[in-house]
Structure 1
């Protein structure tokens, strides 16, 4: 980890943006991509193989399609003494697996999850959470800050991915809900652009409820909730009936109601809606 050069493996939309952020700061950057054409116009040294690229840099940033691609590219590469920062999406256990491989291979491993679109990498709108090697975090913190806000979550290499899959689940739940809301609005002659400001206002007002639910979940204490399971069971039943009647059913609503039903059937109907988390 003595070399100041930075290696970037993978030049998809994210990888290219990462490399460009390092180049803008005047860093010496070495890149590798399966198709060298992706490096066109990039002021970086293009390596002919992953092994050549890794050998050139002290910091090796991996941004590939998935965990399996990262495994294939790194397989057989000498990573001894390198700082590996893997920004490839995957599961917590996959991150821990690569961290174990890195340790056995003589490298330090840091796993990251990116909260940015490629065009915002390197700006205040970019944030990346990391977990794994504190050695890499401390040694390369200022360099990693070129990509976006740095948050270190501790030594468990899988922790960043643990946050990531939870956050992405919330995101896709929100996006799915929005698309269904737009479909419901459309069948009633309401444009999505007309609906969205009112929806955003309501979702903003819901923030205190989410914070309350989080406290209840962490304490496993659901007594006295203002938003009871029984009340939400009735509300979900009405919404499901309305969606079906208008020809736009949404299985996610049925799944959510099933979680609520399980708790109500167990005699918990007067407890907080947050208790539905226990049905998972």
Structure 2
């Protein structure tokens, strides 16, 4: 039996909604799973499924080959792991806590200083999706951990490796989430607009979901322009979009909707034109956001 075929003993530290979903998926997949949470009582259902509840984090770590941290934030990772760093020495540690890229890199350096093999992950799913075909988790850091436990990681969702830099997975994660939140809040703004005419959010959603899906097909073309650095646009430059977006702002005001969402977009378009970029495409907003205004 090869190392990849051996049954993996897993410890899940942190039993919030995501931690519970991960632990439950591992248990149902047949992996011996030990669970622990700082607040007692969150392991009851998991124990009923077949998990083992640990009295403390050290006991959970001792029972495992692979330790998965799913905690509330970067500070909580250190709060939980610093006192048991010696117990983690020689273990495989995966951080699935939502941590900023620099925090992930700091954790990787901390782990290296304590002789802990470290892999960071960004979860592209909500808890109910874990273990389903729609779930995806991005990883970066230790290739050895990813390769050795790839089969186990695939039980949680599709697993993709982005290289040795421990911060890369988090960077992808948060960049994708930024786009998601911008899309959601744009929908919320639109729902507030149509409400002024007595149109329900449900009716609006039917049209919005189809429209957003169609518009998403333009992203690869936008990406090509951004990567080329040539933003010349003879068809729909910023000067074309400005009157349309000014009208969106007016329509929002007329509907009694605050400009928290569309106002910053209008400012970006106006600034691009003020900087002499009226003949360039909206894709150049990427440079504005990155601070390249020359």
TM-score computed with the length of structure 2 as normaliser: 0.91
Q: Secondary structure at the match of 2:83?
A: coil
Which of 42, 63, 71 is the matching residue for 1:64?
71
Aligned twin of 2:14: 10
Match of residue 292 from structure 2:
none
Q: Deviations over 1:211-269 (max 9, x none)?
A: 22111111211112533111112211111111112211222211111111121112211
Partner in structure 1 of residue 94 of structure 2: 85
Report the counterpart of residue 97 of structure 1 in structure 2: 106
**Cα separation, partners in 2 of 1:145 and 1:182, compared to 1, 3 Å:** same
Identify the residue that residue 54 of structure 1 maps to in structure 2. 61
- Counterpart CA distance in 2 for 1:83 and 1:18 is 17
CA distance in 1, matches of 2:68, 2:26: 11
Contact 2:124 2:173 in 1 (8 A): no
Matches within 5 A, 1:88-167: 88-167=97-176
- Equivalent residue in structure 2 for 1:32, among 31, 36, 52: 36
CA distance in 1, matches of 2:213, 2:25: 33
Secondary structure at 1:113 match in 2: strand
1:235-274 to structure 2, matched below 5 A, reads 235-274=244-283
Indicate which of 80, 83, 90 corresponds to 1:73. Answer: 80
Structure 1 residues 37 and 236 mapped into 2: Cα distance closer, same or farther (>3 Å)?
same
TM-score by length of 1: 0.95
How far, CA to CA, are the matches of 2:212 and 2:232 in structure 1?
24
Q: Which runs of 5+ in 1 are unaligned?
A: none
Could you say what secondary structure the match of 1:131 adopts?
Answer: strand
- Partner SS state of residue 280, structure 2: coil
Q: Distance in 2 between matches of 1:210 and 1:218?
A: 12
Answering whether residue 221 of structure 2 is matched by residue 221 of structure 1, we say no
Kindly indicate whether the alpha-carbon contact (under 8 Å) linking 1:36 and 1:46 is maintained by their aligned counterparts in 2: no
CA RMSD, Structure 1 to Structure 2 (Å): 1.6
Q: Alignment partner of 1:203: what SS? A: helix
The structural deviation recorded for 1:95 is 0.4
Q: Secondary structure at the match of 2:261?
A: helix
Distance 1:239 1:278 in 2: 24
CA distance in 2, matches of 1:160, 1:186: 39
Structure 1 position 116, deviation (Å): 1.8
Counterparts of 1:200 and 1:228, CA distance in 2: 26
TM-superposed CA distance for 1:161, in Å, is 0.7
Give 1:27 shift: 1.4
User: Any unmatched runs of 5+ in structure 2?
Assistant: 290-294
Is 1:212 aligned to 2:224, yes or no? no
The offset of 1:3, in angstroms, is: 8.7
